[in-house]
């Protein structure tokens, strides 16, 4: 019985069937722990209870577990239930080789793959077989249907279900299996009798060797035969041995020769020799080692384009001709002579193969926050393996990572050009950490850091906020200056990356659909040029010999790399693509090349992608981190959830009656306000701009929020009934976000940025004259203001002590004389009187009052929910804070600029946007990427 979608096998949830055959049924499934897609292979129901088949299934798992190679599909585990035994394997997207060949057939008949496409595939197949043979394992069922070719050109050999380990007790004998399927589907031949021994036919008719077809002893030379049959089919579009039924096909395998004239006329002589020696019917005359085939293929790469020997006079060309002669001589000889082996060892080594390896990180709710060092030796990423979100760094020469002290709450790390320092954002500042020692240094103030880049001249370009242009600052600190200006329809510039010349840089511009995309800007202030429409940021990778190698003296720029150009890599609709970038012309050239599918798509337009100047590429697959709005009581006991788990929920705010919640949700890169009412989730704002940080009015009739629909982040309100239009009630050149509404509905606190003082607290009257005024402006960062229920006090967080703490000040209604002008930039006196009290004692952010005003909640630096008793009267008197319970709140315990991720209902329940565990896939590292072979 087929597994239906939703069936669970351990942590794996079946989503669809993707294949069925005599050797098993294959399903797509989701690993609910790691949030990745996997393939699940189970035995067909007809034989699921057969002990011999179960034993073979177990053996397949053991065989796969013994193989670890980039061109062999990996095994993740073996799951057993009372009803099923299942192999959990790597899910390889893309067509199998039989589909790829079939698509090339034209109206006049079969057509093989072009030589420059077939040879890289064949080489990767040979490498996979070579790795298996070195482990003493033969495949015994190699065929196009068991070879997957991913969109980026990577080959994965599948289905070692008939593989056999060679050893003194194995006898190297063929083994029977179950009933087969139609020959037209390139079936595995099986016998109805579940027996083991010489004489049982095993394999696939069109690709099995003569000794295999006769039921004789087989060894690795059977795989070499099958490889030859597959390569012949790739080049010609037809099988070398075929027939109308199995008997006729087996007869052709045993008695007939391939029709060699079917091979294209341009097939190199060395490849023809490879095929002739692979398809020798007598195994004693056949090539004995697939490694010989791989060496010949390396030579064929050099001579795939026809050449006239008389013009091959340069030393490089003479070397290629010599290599071809040596390769053919090796293949024709019955055995390799010692001098020939010596020559091969002295010949130039072929380029190393492209490989992909996974870097497993601790849990993180910032899956896109990682960066390769320019020298390609280290990687830094954000993780919370010890319960606190911070930077971790790992040398690629080791298997362990180390947390970096002083980087708590870090986001968006990037490297210095000499790979000795790391830039990052935390606590409202751009910071720098030198790996040689010391503590992080603050370089500039930010509201939310959205990427930075560092050139060899000591200039850092960075994005200071959600709705801000790029700025520049010296790597040693100093005054920060605006670098870019918004064009028509643009609302934000983010995620810059310097090109090797240190003058030009890429960046992402958010805004209207006809202006959003990846741009090329310059330090000279020249007008930026859009390279491509996009909804994610991109990175630049120098190409080939011109790559900008980081120098030990400080990462000197490479003029050669700058002049030759390179590749623009970005994520397009979940697919990681690369396209040639002509830097001089500021234009993309040719067609995009696909590298990977289902790449993480976080909320703020970054790509889960990084490159090193040495040619390394790193990306992270899987969905973005998920979170779940969860209700807790004071003890930390979960009391239910609200809505579904999501990847882009932020900043929940509970209605005054406790029945509804407004929240930010991002869909396809656009952030809007959504409303959750019981089991119903509905969109509340519909503008194409970003609408952020919603808060309810005290009577529940309106919601205030920030929006950049007019270019800058201004304040709006909308009736919850849906009637009327949204009203803009505060507009200025600064970024503003709503913070708290007074219980009498008369005033609204909001945050406003200032280049000189970072973030300040302002108050806007909501009745009568709407002119806003300053509540608190200091050289420090004051944010997250919250009115007390009686309207007499304001709690807020400030970094005046060097770290964020929670403070309280009295609130006095602003007088007309204290009002600012409409720009919101007046330096008029604060509308406050009296003193200031510190509530938190060891760090704190995001204060929220209990509805009776007798307690103040906040988060400590490790994300625990805190509560401080409050006594008011003639004066303000805070009590000692206590820990209520630890949380897994999104963003952790430090303010990374994503706003408050919890709220308190009137009945005392606490709603927390809770990060779900185990939601980050490994970082995949591509080594020796060869894009020219993927076009």
Q: What angle do CA 358, 356, 130 make, to 5 degrees?
A: 120
Q: Do the beta carbons of residue 812 and residue 833 sit within 8 Å?
A: yes
Query: How high is the pLDDT of residue 545?
Result: 41
**What is the greatest pairwise CA distance in the chain?**
106
Q: What is the DSSP letter of 187?
A: P
Pairing relation of β-strands 147-149 and 137-138? Answer: unpaired
In order of 246, 798, 840, 858, 868, the CA distances from 883 in angstroms are 74, 21, 11, 10, 9
Structure tokens at 147: 């070879």
Q: Kindly report the number of other CB atoms within 10 A of residue 681's CB atom.
A: 17
Q: Is the dihedral of CA 475, 480, 484, 490 positive or negative?
A: positive
Q: Which of 176, 215, 216 is nearest to 22 (CA)?
A: 176
> What gap in Å lies between CA 408 and CA 28, rounded to an integer?
38
pLDDT 10s digits, 571-597 = 887 788 999 999 888 899 988 988 888
141 is catalytic: yes
Structure tokens at 404: 């970096």
Query: How high is the pLDDT of residue 379?
Result: 96
- pLDDT over 70 percentage in the chain: 78
In order of 21, 29, 508, 836, the CA distances from 186 in angstroms are 10, 25, 48, 80
Q: Do the beta carbons of residue 700 and residue 657 sit within 8 Å?
A: yes
Q: Which of 902, 792, 888, 790 is nearest to 845 (CA)?
A: 902
> What gap in Å lies between CA 539 and CA 454, rounded to an integer?
14
Burial bucket for residue 875 (CB in 10 Å: 0-12, 13-18, 19+): exposed
Q: Do the beta carbons of residue 615 and residue 376 sit within 8 Å?
A: yes
> What gap in Å lies between CA 803 and CA 306, rounded to an integer?
69
Q: What angle do CA 630, 631, 637 make, to 5 degrees?
A: 105
818: Cβ contacts below 8 Å, ≥ 6 apart: 773, 774, 828, 829, 830, 831
> What gap in Å lies between CA 910 and CA 925, rounded to an integer?
41
Pairing relation of β-strands 164-165 and 137-138? Answer: antiparallel
State the virtual CA torsion across 256, 258, 259, 262 in degrees, nearest 10.
Answer: 160
pLDDT 10s digits, 373-420 = 999 999 999 988 666 788 999 998 877 888 998 898 899 999 999 999
pLDDT 10s digits, 292-340 = 888 888 765 444 433 333 333 333 443 433 443 344 444 434 333 333 3
> What gap in Å lies between CA 753 and CA 467, rounded to an integer?
11
Structure tokens at 886: 């630890």
* Average pLDDT per consecutive 10 residues, the chain (935 residues; last block may be shorter): 79 83 75 89 64 67 78 85 82 87 72 88 93 86 90 85 44 32 34 33 73 83 94 93 80 90 88 92 90 78 38 37 41 38 46 79 84 95 80 87 89 95 90 90 87 96 86 93 85 91 93 84 88 91 57 38 71 87 90 82 77 91 78 94 86 95 84 89 89 95 93 91 91 90 96 82 92 92 94 93 90 63 40 75 93 94 90 87 90 66 96 77 86 57
Residues forming a β-bridge with 368: none
Query: How high is the pLDDT of residue 330?
Result: 42
Q: Which of 325, 315, 338 is nearest to 295 (CA)?
A: 325
Q: Do the beta carbons of residue 369 and residue 382 sit within 8 Å?
A: yes
Q: What is the DSSP letter of 314?
A: S
Query: How high is the pLDDT of residue 853?
Result: 94
Q: Which residue has tokens 């009391």? A: 639
Catalytic residue among 96, 141, 369, 535: 141
278: Cβ contacts below 8 Å, ≥ 6 apart: 224, 225, 227, 228, 229, 231, 286, 287, 293
- Chain centre to alpha carbon of residue 661: 31
pTM of the model: 0.52
> What gap in Å lies between CA 398 and CA 493, rounded to an integer?
36
Residues forming a β-bridge with 848: 857
Structure tokens at 695: 């808060």
Q: Which residue has tokens 């952030």? A: 671
């Amino acid at each position: 019985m087929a597994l239906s979608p939703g069936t669970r096998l351990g942590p794996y949830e079946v989503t669809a069937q993707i294949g069925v055959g005599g050797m098993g049924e294959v399903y797509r499934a989701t690993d609910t722990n790691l949030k990745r897609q996997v393939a699940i292979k189970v035995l067909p129901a007809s034989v699921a209870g057969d002990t011999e088949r179960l034993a073979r299934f177990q053996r397949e798992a053991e065989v796969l577990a013994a193989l670890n190679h980039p061109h062999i599909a990996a095994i993740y585990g073996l799951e057993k239930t009372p009803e099923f035994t299942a192999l959990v394997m790597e899910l390889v997207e893309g067509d199998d080789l039989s589909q790829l060949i079939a698509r090339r057939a034209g109206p006049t008949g079969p057509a093989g793959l072009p030589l420059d496409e077939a040879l890289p595939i064949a080489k990767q197949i040979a490498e996979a077989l070579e790795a298996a043979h070195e482990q003493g394992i033969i495949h015994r069922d190699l065929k196009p249907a068991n070879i997957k070719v991913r969109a980026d050109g990577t080959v994965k050999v599948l289905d070692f279900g008939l593989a056999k380990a060679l050893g003194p007790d194995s006898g190297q004998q063929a083994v029977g299996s179950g009933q087969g399927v139609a020959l037209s589907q390139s079936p595995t031949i099986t016998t109805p009798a579940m027996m083991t021994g010489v004489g049982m036919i095993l394999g696939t008719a069109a690709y099995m060797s003569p000794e295999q077809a006769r039921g004789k002893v087989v060894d690795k030379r059977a795989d070499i035969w099958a490889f030859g049959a597959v390569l012949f089919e790739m080049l010609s579009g037809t099988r070398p041995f075929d027939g109308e039924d199995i008997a006729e096909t087996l007869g052709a395998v045993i008695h007939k020769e391939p029709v060699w004239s079917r091979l294209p006329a341009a097939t190199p002589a060395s490849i023809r020799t490879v095929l002739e020696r692979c398809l020798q019917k007598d195994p004693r005359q056949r090539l004995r080692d697939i490694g010989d085939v791989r060496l010949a293929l390396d030579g064929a790469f050099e001579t795939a384009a026809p050449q006239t020997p008389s013009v091959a006079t340069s030393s490089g060309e003479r070397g290629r001709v010599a290599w071809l002669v040596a390769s053919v001589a090796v293949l024709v000889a019955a055995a390799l002579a010692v001098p020939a082996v010596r020559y091969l060892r002295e010949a130039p080594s072929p380029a190393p193969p492209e490989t992909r390896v996974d870097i497993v990180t601790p849990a993180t709710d910032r899956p896109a926050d990682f960066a390769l060092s320019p020298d390609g030796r280290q990687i830094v990423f954000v993780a919370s393996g010890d319960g606190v979100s911070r930077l971790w760094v790992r040398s690629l020469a080791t298997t362990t990572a180390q947390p970096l002290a002083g980087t708590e709450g870090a986001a968006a790390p990037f490297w210095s050009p000499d790979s000795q320092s790391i830039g990052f954002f935390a606590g409202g500042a751009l910071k720098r950490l030198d790996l040689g020692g010391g503590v992080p240094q603050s370089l500039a103030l930010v509201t939310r850091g959205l990427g930075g880049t560092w050139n060899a001249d000591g200039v850092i370009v960075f994005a200071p906020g959600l709705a801000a242009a790029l700025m520049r600052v010296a790597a040693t600190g100093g005054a920060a200056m605006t670098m870019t200006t918004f064009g028509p329809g643009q609302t934000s510039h983010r995620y810059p990356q310097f090109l090797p010349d240190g003058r030009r840089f890429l960046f992402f511009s958010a805004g209207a659909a006809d202006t959003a995309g990846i741009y090329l800007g310059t330090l000279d202030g020249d007008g930026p040029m859009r390279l491509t429409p996009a909804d994610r940021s991109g990175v630049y990778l120098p190409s080939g010999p011109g790559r900008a190698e980081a120098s030990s003296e400080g990462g000197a720029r490479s003029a050669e790399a700058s002049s030759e150009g390179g590749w623009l890599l970005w994520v397009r609709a979940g697919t990681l693509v690369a396209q040639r970038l002509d830097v001089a012309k500021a234009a993309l050239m040719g067609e995009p090349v696909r590298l990977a599918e289902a790449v993480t798509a976080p909320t703020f337009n970054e790509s889960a992608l990084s490159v090193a100047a040495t040619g390394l590429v790193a990306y992270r697959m899987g969905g973005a981190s998920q979170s779940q709005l969860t209700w807790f009581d004071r003890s930390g006991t979960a009391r239910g959830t609200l809505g579904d788990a999501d990847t882009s929920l932020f900043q929940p705010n509970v209605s005054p009656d406790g029945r509804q919640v407004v929240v930010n949700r991002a869909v396809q890169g656009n952030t809007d306000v959504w409303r959750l009412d019981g089991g119903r989730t509905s969109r509340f704002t519909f503008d194409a701009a970003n609408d952020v940080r919603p808060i309810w009015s005290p009577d529940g009739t309106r919601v205030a929020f920030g929006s950049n629909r007019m270019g800058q982040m201004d304040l709006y309100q909308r009736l919850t009934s849906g009637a009327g239009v949204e009203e803009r009630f505060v507009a200025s050149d600064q970024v503003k976000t709503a913070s708290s509404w007074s219980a009498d509905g008369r005033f609204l606190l909001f945050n406003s940025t200032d280049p000189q003082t970072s973030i300040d607290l302002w108050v806007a009257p909501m009745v009568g004259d709407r002119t806003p005024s300053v509540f608190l402006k200091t050289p420090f960062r004051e944010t997250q203001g919250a009115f007390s229920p009686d309207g007499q006090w304001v709690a807020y967080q400030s970094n005046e002590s060097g770290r964020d703490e929670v403070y309280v000040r009295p609130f006095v209604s602003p007088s007309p004389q204290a009002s600012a002008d409409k720009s919101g930039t007046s330096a008029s006196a604060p509308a406050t009187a009296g003193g200031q009290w510190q509530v938190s004692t060891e760090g704190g952010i995001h204060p929220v009052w209990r509805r009776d005003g007798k307690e103040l909640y906040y988060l400590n630096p490790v994300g625990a929910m805190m509560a401080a008793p409050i006594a008011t009267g003639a004066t303000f008197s805070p009590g000692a804070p206590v820990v209520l319970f630890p949380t897994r709140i999104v963003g952790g315990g430090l303010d990374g600029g994503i706003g408050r991720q919890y709220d308190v209902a009137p009945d005392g329940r606490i709603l927390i946007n809770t990060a779900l565990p185990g939601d980050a896939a490994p970082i995949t590292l591509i080594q020796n990427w060869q894009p020219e072979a993927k076009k």
